[in-house]
Every structure is written in C-alpha cells, then in structure tokens.
Amino acid sequence: MSALRHALIAAALAVGAVQAGPIDAAKSRITAQFTQMNVPVEDPFTRFSGTVDFDPAHPERARAHLDIDLSSFDLGDPDYSAEICKPEWFDCAHHPRASFEASALEPLGGGRYALSGTLSLKGKTQDLRIPVTLVNLSGANAFDGAVTISRSHFEIGGPDWKDVVADAVKVSFHIVIPTH
C-alpha cells in the first residue's frame, strides 16, 4: 500500500469517515425559541433519541431519525411544563413524540449542508430543508442547525393564544455523533 493511501485512510478515520449509530443525547441539545407577549423565550427538550448514518464521502446517502419526547419540554416551571402537554398544545397523551426523518444531505461546501426531511408533530407533517454545519469535535462530530416552523401548522396553541404567543418557533439543535 502506498504512503499516500495510508495517509488518506488515516485522515478519513480521524474525522470519523462513516458514522452509524445512536446520537449522544448527553452531549446533544434541542431547544425551541418563541416570543410570548413580545418577550423571547428559549427552553430545551430534555429527552430525545435518534440514529444517524453519515459518510462524509457520500453525504447524499445520509439518513437520520430523531424522536423528541414532547413532555420533556422544560419551561423552567413545573406548572408551565405540565400546561404544554395539554390537548390545546402538544397533546402529549395522544402525541407523545415529535419525530424527524432525514432523507437527504446536500453538501454546500465548507462543512455546510442542506438537510432535507420530514417533521411529524401532533399528527401533522411538514417537509423541511434545514441549513446545517458539520463541526469536528474530539472523538465526535456534531451537526448544528436551526429551522423556523409554524406553530399554527401543527395546531399548537389554540386561537386564544394567537396574539399572545408568536406563530414562528425556531428549533435549534446540536446533534453529536461519536466517531468511534
């Protein structure tokens, strides 16, 4: 084997050439940001899981699945967090999870990608195209990105909340994939 080939293989292994398996939820985060009465609010989902199959040499073959436990949305107050699980909001009794199924990852250059997939939330779906950045970490890679969704599209919060909570909700994520 040539020295060049050894160097290329070593470089590919160093950045985690093929990653397949569960995300590291302890090092990952998902937050939702919205405005309520013109005050910005940003809070995390504390329980989620998923898998990623990613090969930097073939990003177009990437696939991922993410499940978010909606009852884990932590608004910083147990009463507020319980309220969000009621039928008018997430309806956690009938729709305990949101899920995202990634179907394509288009390279844009410089570690940037366009992630395409389908978000399922509260019995509704929406196709999304999300700008993401791949960040190399020690022993892992992370996908960082954000997308804005419409609260009304998913029938979250009834009409009484229209003038209280903005329709736009920005979902940000930092998803860590171990490379070993």
C-alpha span between 10 and 34 (Å, rounded): 44
Query: What 3-state class would DSSP assign to 137?
Result: strand
Burial class (CB in 10 A: 0-12, 13-18, 19+), 11: exposed
pLDDT for residue 2 is more than 50: no
pLDDT (tens digit per residue) in 57-73 = 898 899 999 999 999 99
pLDDT for residue 146 is more than 50: yes
* pLDDT value of residue 10: 35
- Give the global pTM: 0.86
* pLDDT value of residue 158: 82
Mean pLDDT is highest, among 30-34, 35-39, 51-55, for 30-34
pLDDT (tens digit per residue) in 90-129 = 999 999 999 999 999 999 999 999 999 999 999 999 999 9
* pLDDT value of residue 60: 87
Residue 162 tokens, joined: 């229209």
Give the residue, 14 or 84, on which the prediction is more confident: 84
C-alpha span between 12 and 3 (Å, rounded): 14
Boundaries of every domain in the chain: 3-178
* pLDDT value of residue 21: 81
Confidence of residue 179 (pLDDT cuts 50, 70, 90): confident
Architecture of the structural domain at 3-178: Beta Barrel (2.40)
Residue-averaged pLDDT of the chain: 88
pLDDT for residue 15 is more than 70: no
